[in-house]
């Protein structure tokens, strides 16, 4: 059977075997990040929508899991920002009821976290992952090229609110790109935010080679590490060799 909503199981370096679940048209996002592996955002929106019927997605998951080994995690990705699927919570709850042994995770840009309904929907996940590349408005805009309604202050407030409500692990990811978000003030600001926030993991990455941006200099890498190494949470560097 041809799959519409599921990817292939892949090995994730931190989560084990993950199976991506899609539920939005390519590419629906409130950001248009310079480095996005899904290409350019064609539907830039802050409006949550009922893109596909939950039942159709569940049917495909059922059919797949009767014929294949269970993954460690179902990764609720969507083709863009997962919070834009208005049925996210219902989908996650139904998956949990049917497959309590499979964990759920999602990776969000945090732009809709000001909405209590979005925060509640994300409670269903066993690990929530958020991206935060900058706490400085100018650098945040440069790297994330976001919807005009997105404000860095709202993103940070939303993250803090979610942290106060959610009882399971939160991972924060920062992706650093040369000339995008590597000012001293941003790196130090991120350090301060992360030190106060205390995520379970802080994952620090840099652009992929195919992004065609000059790699970070040794001095920048050294500076980022000198700031983040002393954080009171687990720091994971990826692509910093
Ligand atoms: S938030 Fe994620 S999906 Fe949206 S543009 Fe950025 S990297 Fe791509």
Pocket test for ligand 1, best of 31, 42, 108 (most atoms within 8 A of CB): 31
The domain over range 10-238 is classified in CATH as 2.40.37.20:
no
Pocket test for ligand 1, best of 23, 78, 81 (most atoms within 8 A of CB): 81
- Distances in whole angstroms, Cα of residue 190 to Cα of each of 5, 64, 196, 233: 35, 41, 10, 13
User: 220 pLDDT band (50/70/90 cuts)?
Assistant: very high
Q: How close is the Cα of 66 to the center of ligand 1, in Å?
A: 32
Atom of ligand 1 nearest to the CA of 145: 5
> 15-24, 69-78, 192-201, 208-217: which range is least confident on average?
208-217
Half-sphere exposure of 238 (CA within 13 A, CB side): 15
Pairing of strands 127-131, 170-176: parallel
User: 1 pLDDT band (50/70/90 cuts)?
Assistant: low
Nearest CA to ligand 1 atom 3: 80
Nearest CA to ligand 1 atom 8: 36
Distance between CA atoms of residues 18 and 77, nearest Å = 11
- Give Cβ neighbours of residue 164 (< 8 Å, ≥ 6 apart): none
Its pTM stands at 0.96
- Give Cβ neighbours of residue 132 (< 8 Å, ≥ 6 apart): 110, 155, 159, 172, 173, 174, 190, 193
Whether the per-residue pLDDT at 210 is higher than 90: the answer is no
For residue 50, the Cα-to-chain-centroid distance in whole angstroms is 20
Task: Collapse the DSSP code of 89 into the 3-class scheme (helix H, G, I; strand E, B; otherwise coil) and give the result.
Answer: helix
Task: Collapse the DSSP code of 197 into the 3-class scheme (helix H, G, I; strand E, B; otherwise coil) and give the result.
Answer: helix
Whether the per-residue pLDDT at 2 is higher than 80: the answer is no
Q: Where are the domains of the chain?
A: 10-238
Ligand 1: residues with CB < 6 A are 29, 31-33, 36, 38, 41, 80-81, 109
Q: What was the pLDDT predicted at 241?
A: 67
Cβ(137)–Cβ(175) under 8 Å? no
Which helix H or strand E contains 196, and what residues bound it? helix 184-197
Q: What was the pLDDT predicted at 123?
A: 98
Whether the per-residue pLDDT at 239 is higher than 90: the answer is no
pLDDT for 147-190, tens place per residue?
999 999 999 999 999 999 999 999 999 999 999 999 999 999 99
């Amino acid at each position: 059977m041809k799959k519409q909503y599921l990817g292939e199981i892949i090995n994730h370096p931190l989560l084990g075997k993950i199976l991506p679940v899609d539920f939005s048209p390519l590419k629906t996002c409130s950001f248009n990040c310079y480095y996005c592996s899904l290409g350019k955002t064609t539907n830039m929106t802050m409006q949550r929508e009922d893109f596909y019927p939950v039942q159709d997605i569940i049917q495909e998951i059922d059919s797949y899991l009767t014929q294949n080994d269970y993954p460690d995690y179902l990764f609720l990705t969507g083709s863009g920002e997962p919070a834009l699927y208005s049925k996210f919570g219902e989908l996650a709850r139904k998956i949990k009821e049917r497959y309590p042994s499979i964990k759920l995770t999602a990776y969000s840009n945090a732009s809709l976290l000001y909405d209590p309904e979005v925060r509640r929907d994300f409670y269903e996940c066993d690990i929530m992952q958020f991206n935060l590349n900058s706490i400085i408005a100018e650098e945040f805009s440069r790297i994330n090229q976001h919807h005009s309604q997105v404000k860095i202050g709202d993103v940070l407030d939303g993250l803090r609110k979610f942290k106060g409500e959610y009882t399971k692990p939160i991972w924060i990811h920062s992706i650093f790109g040369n000339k995008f978000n590597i000012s001293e003030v941003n790196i130090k600001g991120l350090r301060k935010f992360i030190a106060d926030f205390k995520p379970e993991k802080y994952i620090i990455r840099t652009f992929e080679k195919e992004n065609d941006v000059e790699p970070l200099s040794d001095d920048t890498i050294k500076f980022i590490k000198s700031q983040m190494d002393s954080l009171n949470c687990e720091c994971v560097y990826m692509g910093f060799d």
